[in-house]
Amino acid sequence: MDIKTYYASLRAAAQEKAARNTARARENRQFRENDNRLAELERDLAFAELEGDREKEKALEREKTRRREENRTILASMGLTERDLSPVYACEKCNDTGFVGTKLCSCFYTVSQSLNGSVGTDAKTLPLVDEPLAKQLGLFEVHEKLRRYAEKFPSVNKKNIYLCGGTGTGKTLLAGDTAARIARRGYCVVFLTSFEMNNVFLKYHDLFNDARSVSMNALLHADLLVIDDLGAEQNFKNVTTPYLLALLNERNLHALPTFITGNLNPDELLRHYGERVFSRIFDKRLSTAIMLGGNDKRIRL
């Protein structure tokens, strides 16, 4: 089942259940009479308000309250509530459409995981770094900055972060901690390695069916995208750099934060990906770079 069909089936099931409950309730003569009159009352109240007839408004409101109470009692005798007469969607934010306005809903990523296999790592499961560990690893100052970033997210001045350092300096640990804190606040966070990112690009480039865009959309529309170890992936011609550029460009255009870790310093990254990718990562209006130094922290654990 593709993701469009999945959402359509969810909506249809919720709407069908509400319709069945409504039909069952309207089999009761008194409920049906009240229900019809309540629809008329809304119209009558609107006219009374336009006419400025306060006494009529009060009388109509009293009748409305009485009839609604009668219907609640009738519904309760059937084991139903007023809520059961309207569709109850699995996701209240998007009403099982996958979109909130023009933006993908946070449930979209979860659905795409279940239908097409997971994209990256579930950010909520990533380990948190506490203050003693951050001090032990010599990462306390950077950890504090990123903790404040996670607390303020998404209302942060610099949307994008490039965390640069040698192997084992704590980049992935800090990025995972930040991603976990934000994900546990209910935001949609995609955390994946550059190798996994490349696989998404290849799938999108090579496939020609409805499923090809699911994983790419997860990267494009996540509240926070974390790309770990950028530069370690194989650079496929006409795939890696062009799609990375398109991904960063779209996310910057829609002010969606991207957190990147890598061993490449800015000069190396410029040579590796070219000026256009470099300019998206280091756009001074949106981005900040944090450089980590020191020895391999994994040796000390």
pLDDT digits (tens, 9 = 90+) for 218-262: 888 888 999 999 999 998 999 999 999 999 999 998 889 999 999
| pLDDT class of 296 with cuts at 50, 70, 90 | very low
Give the mean model confidence (pLDDT) for residues 42-50.
Answer: 91
d(CA 43, CA 34) in angstroms, rounded, equals: 15
Query: What share of the chain has pLDDT > 70, as a percent?
Result: 91
From 3.40.47.10, 3.40.1190.20, 3.40.50.300, 1.10.10.10, which CATH number describes the 99-300 domain?
Answer: 3.40.50.300
Token match 């007469």: residue?
85
pLDDT digits (tens, 9 = 90+) for 134-186: 999 899 999 999 999 999 998 998 899 999 988 888 899 999 999 999 989 88
User: How is residue 95 written in tokens?
Assistant: 């009403």
d(CA 190, CA 260) in angstroms, rounded, equals: 12
Residue with more model confidence, 186 or 1: 186
CA 68, chain centre distance (Å): 38
Query: Which DSSP category does 2 fall into?
Result: -
Secondary structure of 240-288 as H, E, C letters = HHHHHHHHHHHHHHCCCCEEEEECCCHHHHHHHHCHHHHHHHCCCCCEE
Given a contact cutoff of 8 angstroms between Cβ atoms, the answer to whether 70 and 34 are in contact is yes
What are the residue ranges spanned by the domains of the chain? 3-85, 99-300
Segment (H or E) for 224: strand 224-230
User: How is residue 242 written in tokens?
Assistant: 């062009």
Q: Is it the case that residue 73 has pLDDT exceeding 90?
A: yes
CB atoms within 10 A of CB 163: 25
User: Which pLDDT does position 224 carry in this prediction?
Assistant: 92
| pLDDT class of 273 with cuts at 50, 70, 90 | very high
Given a contact cutoff of 8 angstroms between Cβ atoms, the answer to whether 126 and 224 are in contact is no
User: Which pLDDT does position 301 carry in this prediction?
Assistant: 31
